[in-house]
Amino acid sequence: MRVLLQKVSEASVTIDGQVHGAIQQGFCLLVGAQDSDTSEEVDYLVHKISKLRVFEDDTGKMNLSLADVDGQILSVSQFTLYASTKKGNRPSFTAAGEPTHAKKLYEELNAKLAAEGIKVATGVFGADMQVALVNDGPVTIWFDTDHK
């Protein structure tokens, strides 16, 4: 699985002109899966994301986790994280997971993050979404379970 995490001061996802999910301080996650991914990858990501210390403490050092700042998560499915641009100018998405499998893993990730006590807002898997966010820092971190 791949997750692009951005630390945000706010983020929202809009579908058909209606805000579907919105958060204040926390993480905006763009989430992609491939067919070989399992619950093992989900568990690894839940641990890494929920424990990640990138919020500033009183001395300005990135030393606090999402729980320490009462942060939230906006999770958005994004199969394009598996784009291949090796040939030509049109990306190939053949490495992206089959939608039924990818959706199951995306929903499992969100449920397990919520089980950690984190408020999780989401987009809609497979929908045309507009994501708005204010990247705080900026802090952007790439997780790829093929390279854990």
Q: Please give the positions annotated as active site.
A: 78-80
Task: Provide the 3-class DSSP secondary structure of residue 114.
Answer: helix
By C-alpha distance, which of 119, 95, 125 is closest to 107? 125
Which stretches does DSSP call E strand in the chain? 2-15, 18-23, 26-32, 55-56, 62-64, 72-77, 119-122, 130-144
